[in-house]
Amino acid sequence: MRSIHRFLFGLAVVLLVSAWGASASAAGEWSVSSPADTLSLTVRLTDGGALEYRVQLAASDGPKTVVGWSALGVTRSWVDQAARSVTVRVDLSKGLAFVSAEDSAPHDEYTLLVGKRRENTSDANQLSLTFQNEGDASLRLDLRAHDEGVAFRYALLGESTLHHWLESEETEFNLGTTGTHWGQPYDHATTYTPAYEPPYLNGVPLGTATDPKLGTGWGFPSLFDVDGTWVLLHEAGLNETHQGSHLQPKAPEGVYKIAFPLEESAMGFGRAFPASTLPWTLPWRFILVSDDLGDIAESNMVYHLAEPSRIEDTSWIKPGVASWSWLSDHDSSRNLDTLKKFIDFSAEMGWPYSLVDANWNLISDDSMEQLVAHAEKKGVDLLFWYNSGGSNSFVTEEPRNRMHERKVRRAEFAKLQKLGVKGVKVDFFHADKQFMIQRYLGILEDAANHKIMVVFHGCTIPRGWARTWPNLMSMEAVRGAETYTFGSTPDYGKLAPRQNTLLPVTRNVIGPMDYTPVVYSQQMIARHTTNAHETALAVLFESGIQHIGEGVDALRALPEDYLGFFRDLENVWDETRFVTGYPSRHMVLARRHGERWYVAGVSGEDDEKTLSLDLSFLGRPRIEGMLLYERAGASGYPLLREEMARLLQKENLEPQLPSAGKRAIYTSPIKA
């Protein structure tokens, strides 16, 4: 509905914990159920010793199969030097025999510094099954069932000093042919990709293959409506021993299969398969399942499956809003006066940060020192841009070759820490290969040791790293607002309204998203969103550092009420609520910081609509608030400000969502 509501109130939170269970339901078949018995994950061993799994959702008329019987298994290889360097292939996808089973009930409580919800509780039931092949090689399959989804991972057992490599993974997701897929094509490998920036498709039939012109597979996360049940596929728990995966381009009969990184990615540098010594635990593959789309939007399962924080003292990590000059002026980061102008604006707005983007080092040898000194006087902290560097990239933006080698990187972080720089934005990674995953995690570890926050740009997707390394503030991996400035993407303006309704239930489900929202001024690509729509994105999209895309002059021209909204803008959320929405049609979310609620909604369609919003979770009968929207037929930044008590005492709040390019119209009692 292209508006933002902001309310004050108090809330009590109640956590419910249920019983658990795991069982062997028949010979050669094992099952684990979620604590509330809403979901079950079943594994069976076929006559040929192959593993298959199935996921079922509890229903009034009996279990509903959401993921039909799907293949499991991996093949690893290693070089036997004693046998004159003979390559030994170990097939753990067939010929397996059951060895043992062990069940448990993992319980976890943890705090996130970024994300949809600060305080988190995770309860699950787990079943670990061990199998052996005819050559006595062992495979453990960990199964886990949460009330919001299920997960599984492989552990390759044994001990070795030599590295083994993963030759293939047979994992399938059999979703059938009845339903719809909202998927993002996985990038072709170029100088700048894969960076997870192609637009999501606006719903295609289950089993649709990727158009070769658009991509080489389907990216994670992928959202599906499977015969009326919502399903989201993703992975978590990815560490330096593995690589980032995606889905293969073809899904015959709705059977999607894991795919490895592209050999040609990173300019052909690095291997397209992972390698490790044994034992070797692979990432979780997880499946969110619910009849309610809100459960998908609100899920933090990607963090439930991530490693706990490796940073003991997190007091220095402070998310916040940042000014950013590059989107509105690509040459600004080579100009000290312009950069100081944005620092000054952050000070005026009470924003803690300003980002200094690419090529800042070309201004002068002491440009960083000059900017830090100016920002210190203004009470603003700075983040500086870096090229990820290395032989995997030909991108020449500066500074480069300071992040890819650990010794050089640590020296740079030591310099930043001494100067008082609070964070870095590292750009242009171009691969999901294992060596690049190691670079991401190495940057996070070394940055943490020097108390530096990190934003990744031109990068892979989140996989729960913001829990393990809380200094990770955000990752791009999205076609964001800077695309308005690229003439090579003429379709962006028309696609953006629909994409903006999709992202809260796809990309932003799995972690913070550096979309760089809020663009009012005209760029190279024409906008098809209203100013109120753009304003709403600052709340609708979650990011630990929320870089505001618009330039200083346009922001200063805002009416005082809009400026007041941005001065008070939060981006650390105690709670997130899905209010209503449907991918590509409209989306309304509510986020709480302390006792203050922000409700943000946008429309993605060309027709006007009226929605009834259930705001009963606000709790109190009298609520003071502010409503931002655009009047019908008006221009600029009109808004209505009034006490909202009378309005919210009504049974329903019914703002009328306008089309993507039209002004907002509201039903009584709000009148333009």
Residues 6+ apart with CB under 8 A from 635: none
Residues 6+ apart with CB under 8 A from 510: 220, 221, 234, 302, 461, 462, 463
Q: Residues 106, 84: contact at Cβ < 8 Å?
A: no
- What pLDDT does 614 receive? 86
Helix segments in 284-420, DSSP class H: 293-298, 301-304, 336-349, 367-378, 406-419
- What pLDDT does 611 receive? 83
Cα angle 181, 248, 185 (rounded to 5 degrees) comes to 55
Give how far the C-alpha of residue 241 lies from the chain's centroid of Cα atoms, to the nearest Å: 21
Kindly indicate the confidence band of residue 429, based on its pLDDT and cuts at 50, 70 and 90. very high
Read off the pLDDT of residues 282-338 as tens digits, 9 standing for 90 and up. Answer: 999 999 999 999 999 999 999 999 999 999 999 999 999 999 999 999 999 999 999
Q: Residues 336, 370: contact at Cβ < 8 Å?
A: yes
Closest CA to 473 of 491, 457, 494: 457
Alpha carbons within 13 A on the beta-carbon side of 499:
23
Helices and strands counted in the chain (H then E): 12, 39
* Cα–Cα distance measured from residue 204 to residue 177, given in angstroms and rounded to the nearest whole number: 11
DSSP codes of every residue in 115-182: SS-SEEEEE-EEEEEEEE-TT--EEEEEEEE-SSEEEEEEEE-S--SS-EEEEEE--EEE--SSEEEE
Say which residue, 461 or 27, is predicted with more confidence: 461
Give how far the C-alpha of residue 559 lies from the chain's centroid of Cα atoms, to the nearest Å: 33
Position 566: which residue type? F
Read off the pLDDT of residues 529-562 as tens digits, 9 standing for 90 and up. Answer: 988 899 999 999 999 999 999 999 999 988 887 8
Closest CA to 482 of 320, 571, 345, 355: 355
What is the distance in angstroms between the CA of the first residue and the CA of the last residue of the chain? 14
Output DSSP code: residue 270.
S
Read off the pLDDT of residues 187-211 as tens digits, 9 standing for 90 and up. Answer: 999 989 999 999 999 999 999 999 9
- Residue 135: CB atoms within 10 A of its CB come to 10
Judged against a pLDDT cut of 70, whether residue 632 lies above it is answered with no
Instruction: Report the percentage of the chain scoring pLDDT > 90.
Output: 81
Kindly indicate the confidence band of residue 631, based on its pLDDT and cuts at 50, 70 and 90. low
Read off the pLDDT of residues 7-18 as tens digits, 9 standing for 90 and up. Answer: 222 222 222 222
For residue 419, give the 3-state DSSP assignment: helix
* Cα–Cα distance measured from residue 36 to residue 665, given in angstroms and rounded to the nearest whole number: 43
Residues 6+ apart with CB under 8 A from 581: 293, 297, 501, 504, 505, 587, 588, 589
Read off the pLDDT of residues 220-243 as tens digits, 9 standing for 90 and up. Answer: 999 999 999 999 999 999 999 999
Sign (positive or negative) of CA dihedral 388, 389, 395, 397:
positive
Q: Return the minimum-mean-pLDDT range out of 106-115, 326-335, 437-446, 484-493.
A: 484-493
Q: Residues 510, 318: contact at Cβ < 8 Å?
A: no
Read off the pLDDT of residues 53-91 as tens digits, 9 standing for 90 and up. Answer: 999 999 999 999 999 999 999 999 999 877 777 899 999
Q: Residues 214, 50: contact at Cβ < 8 Å?
A: no
pTM across the whole model: 0.92
Alpha carbons within 13 A on the beta-carbon side of 191:
4
Instruction: Report the percentage of the chain scoring pLDDT > 70.
Output: 89
Read off the pLDDT of residues 153-179 as tens digits, 9 standing for 90 and up. Answer: 999 999 999 999 999 999 999 999 999
Pairing of strands 423-427, 320-324: unpaired
**Average pLDDT taken over every residue of the chain:** 89
Alpha carbons within 13 A on the beta-carbon side of 219:
27
- CA 445, 450, 452, 457: dihedral to nearest 10 degrees? -40
Q: Residues 74, 165: contact at Cβ < 8 Å?
A: no
Burial 469-496 (b: 16+ CB within 10 A, else e): bbbbbbbbbbbbbbbbbeeebeebbebb
Q: Which helix (H) or strand (E) holds 553?
A: helix 552-556
For residue 448, give the 3-state DSSP assignment: helix
Residues 6+ apart with CB under 8 A from 593: 570, 572, 573, 574
- What pLDDT does 615 receive? 83
Residue with tokens 């400026």: 563
Residue with tokens 């300003």: 354
Judged against a pLDDT cut of 70, whether residue 400 lies above it is answered with yes
Judged against a pLDDT cut of 90, whether residue 441 lies above it is answered with yes
Position 13: which residue type? V
Closest CA to 231 of 71, 35, 70, 56: 56
Judged against a pLDDT cut of 60, whether residue 643 lies above it is answered with no
Tokens of 169: 């993974």
